[in-house]
């Protein structure tokens, strides 16, 4: 049976913090091997990561270690923001297969390719789950998703973009005993564990759904034969005062992932930002490409909508597996969330524990969150992305 444990330290000294968390996870396993571990740390430890990682290997000895720096870290029952924080999460399960890799980008003229795909993943037919962390200054994310589609079709990716620094070369990614400053680090996980993902995009729909009838890449020119700005103005006019204020601060566009559905609910839309409007033509520009025939719906994002969306998705997960809660979870929240956004501390981690009981959770505040929507992998903003670990033999059929 799988075991997961998490340890958190707010010690400002990196060696002392690493000693505390490594000893805690080691003792919790009671002699069992640590087959996979994740480490997340605040920028306060950016210059001392080598000693921190060395201590984790000495005291815990994980077979595979992966992680990165975050503007804040998440662990146990806390979200630590603007203060030193170190989180170590470990998993013991000899049946799990974890394949680590480091991808770097190579430019050939205008083309960008990624190098470093592990040979041991070649030829795998079954979809896998990829846990990925990236440097914000050297991450061709579209090429990453294309690479996964080519080498591991049907696989899911989840993770986040390292955050907490503004200068190129200052990011810190961890892969086993290596400290990496660029590209992607990650692991492919398969065998011995049931993995499920939750991606809370933090929005609620408003108004009606419309079919895109004329578009030029990311500029929508007609919705159901009418200029989209007219559709938007009619939608806003029908809102109450509170929703209208919410829309003024966080108007988004949801792209239906399956326009053939008769009903749409949580997780059925890919949320993208509204970039601007052209009053003369009535067109709207959004932060993604759309095609004629796709369905869209306007959404609003604020603290209330974000909280309601996360609680709803976690409730669905609990109801799907009422007698078999997950053994552990990794949580990647946008650095635009947190206490400043929700006006309350520890919002996302508290929601997880409310619905899924107290389980070992670790993660960080990311500069972009990776997660699947409608079976396809995307980079998001203002999102909470989760990877849940279940025992295979104990999982119920929903």
- My answer on whether 9 and 118 are in the same domain is yes
Q: Which pLDDT score is estimated for 345?
A: 95
The verdict on residue 398 lying in a domain is no
pLDDT in tens, 241-300: 888 888 887 799 999 987 777 677 667 899 999 999 999 999 999 999 999 999 999 999
Last residue of a domain, one of 265, 300, 335: 300
Average pLDDT score over residue span 216-222? 96
Which residue range is the domain that position 33 belongs to?
A: 3-200+307-390
Q: Which pLDDT score is estimated for 141?
A: 92
Q: Is 267 left (phi over 0), alpha (psi -120 to 50) or beta?
A: left
User: In the structure encoding, which two tokens stand for residue 278, read together?
Assistant: 């052209």
Largest CA distance in the chain: 70
- My answer on whether 167 and 233 are in the same domain is no
- My answer on whether 229 and 141 are in the same domain is no
Residue 398 in this model has a pLDDT that exceeds 50: no
- My answer on whether 163 and 30 are in the same domain is yes
Last residue of a domain, one of 260, 281, 300: 300
The verdict on residue 167 lying in a domain is yes
Model pTM score: 0.92
- My answer on whether 330 and 234 are in the same domain is no
The verdict on residue 396 lying in a domain is no
Share of residues in the chain with pLDDT > 90 (%): 77
Number of domains observed in the structure of the chain: 2
SS (H, E, C) the chain: CCEEEEEEECCCCHHHHHHHHHHHHHHHHCCCCCCEEEEEECHHHHHHHHHHHHHHHHHCCCCCEEEEECCEEEECCEEEECCCCEEEEEEECCCCEEEEEEEEEEEECCEEEEECCCHHHCCCCCCCEEEEEECCCCCCHHHHHHHHHHHCCCCEEEEEECCCCCCCCCCCEEECCEEECCCEEEEEEECCCEEEEEEECCCEEEEEEEEEEEEECCEEEEECCECHHHHHHHHHHCCCHHHHHHHHHHEEEEEECCCCCCCCCCCCEEEEEEEEEECCCCEEEECCCCCCCCEEEEEECCHHHHHHHHHHHHHHHHHHCCCCCCCEEEEEEECCCHHHHHCCCCHHHHHHHHHHCCCCEEEEEECCEEEEECCEEEEECCCEEEEEEECCCCCCCC
- Give the whole-angstrom CA distance, residue 120 versus residue 112: 23
- My answer on whether 169 and 313 are in the same domain is yes
- My answer on whether 139 and 178 are in the same domain is yes
- My answer on whether 225 and 184 are in the same domain is no
- My answer on whether 196 and 208 are in the same domain is no
- My answer on whether 107 and 177 are in the same domain is yes
The verdict on residue 274 lying in a domain is yes
pLDDT in tens, 114-172: 898 888 887 666 789 999 999 999 889 999 999 999 889 999 999 999 999 888 888 99
């Amino acid at each position: 049976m799988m075991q997961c444990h998490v340890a958190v330290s707010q010690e400002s000294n990196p060696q002392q913090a690493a000693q505390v968390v490594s000893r805690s996870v080691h003792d919790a396993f009671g002699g069992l091997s640590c087959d996979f571990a994740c480490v997340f740390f605040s920028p306060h430890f950016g210059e001392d990561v080598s000693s921190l990682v060395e201590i984790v290997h000495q005291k815990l000895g994980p077979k595979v270690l992966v992680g990165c720096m975050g503007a804040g870290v998440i662990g146990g029952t806390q979200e630590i923001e603007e203060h030193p924080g170190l989180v170590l999460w470990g998993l013991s399960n000899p049946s799990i297969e974890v394949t680590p890799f480091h991808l770097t980008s190579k430019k050939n003229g205008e083309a960008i390719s990624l190098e470093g795909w592990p040979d041991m993943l070649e030829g795998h037919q079954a979809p896998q789950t990829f846990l990925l962390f990236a440097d914000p200054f050297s991450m061709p994310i579209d090429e990453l998703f294309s690479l996964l589609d080519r080498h591991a079709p049907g696989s899911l990716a989840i993770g986040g973009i390292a955050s907490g620094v503004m200068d190129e070369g200052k990011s810190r990614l961890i892969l086993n005993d290596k400290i990496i400053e660029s590209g992607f680090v990650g692991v492919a996980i398969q065998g011995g564990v049931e993995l499920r993902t939750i991606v809370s995009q933090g929005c609620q729909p408003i108004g009606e759904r419309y079919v895109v009838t004329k578009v030029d890449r990311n500029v929508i020119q007609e919705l159901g034969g009418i200029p989209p700005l007219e559709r938007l103005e009619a939608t806003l006019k029908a809102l109450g005062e509170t929703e209208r204020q919410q829309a003024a601060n966080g108007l988004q566009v949801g792209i239906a992932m399956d326009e053939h559905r008769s009903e749409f609910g949580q997780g059925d839309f890919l949320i993208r930002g509204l970039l601007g409007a052209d009053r003369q033509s009535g067109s709207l520009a959004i932060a993604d490409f759309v095609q004629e025939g796709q369905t869209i719906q306007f959404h609003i994002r604020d603290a209330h909508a974000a909280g309601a969306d996360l609680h709803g998705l976690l409730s669905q997960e609990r109801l799907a597996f009422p007698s078999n809660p997950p053994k552990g979870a990794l949580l990647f929240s946008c650095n635009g969330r947190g206490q400043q956004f929700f006006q309350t501390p520890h919002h996302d981690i508290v929601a997880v524990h409310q619905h899924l009981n107290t389980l070992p959770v670790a993660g960080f505040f990311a500069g972009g969150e990776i997660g699947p929507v409608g079976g396809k992998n995307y980079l998001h903003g203002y999102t909470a992305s989760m990877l849940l670990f279940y025992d295979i033999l104990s999982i119920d059929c929903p």
